[in-house]
Amino acid sequence: MAARLGGLPEIRHGELWRLVTPIFLHGGLMHILFNMLCLSDFGTMIERRQNTRVLTALVLVIAALSNLGQYLWQGPDFGGMSGVVYGLIGYIWMRGKFDPNSSLFLHSSTVTMAVV
């Protein structure tokens, strides 16, 4: 895994967008449709209760972290927004649990379905 970090010369030279751009690649029509449906549901929930800037920041940070993790785990051949979707699920779940005034909430069955 540490050897793969050496495979990121573009990022080390400032091309940080490369950590985010894989969210725009998908493996097929069903892949992109499912990801966009989930992004619409969870993203709208966050955007309405907080604001567009918070949602944008969350998507960018989660994308960078999940894509870096995916790269370190499996290598460079991946794409999709599933990491962002799961990150948003985690954000909503934890924010609702630790800040009940946020009005963000996920039913336990939604969390169970996401984990399973």
Pairwise CA distance, residues 95 & 104, whole Å: 7
pLDDT digit string (tens) for 34-77? Answer: 999 999 999 999 999 999 999 999 999 999 999 999 998 988 88
Q: Could you identify the residue written with the tokens 């950590």?
A: 19
Q: Is the pTM of this model over 0.95?
A: no
User: What DSSP state is assigned to residue 31?
Assistant: H
Q: Which amino acid is at 52?
A: T
CA distance 45 to 103: 9
Q: Of the candidates 74, 88, 71, 92, which has an alpha carbon nearest to the alpha carbon of residue 21?
A: 71
Superfamily assignment of 2-115 in CATH?
Answer: Rhomboid-like (1.20.1540.10)
Structure letter (DSSP) for residue 79: -
Domain boundaries, the chain: 2-115
What are the φ and ψ backbone dihedral angles of 93, each rounded to 5 degrees?
-60, -50
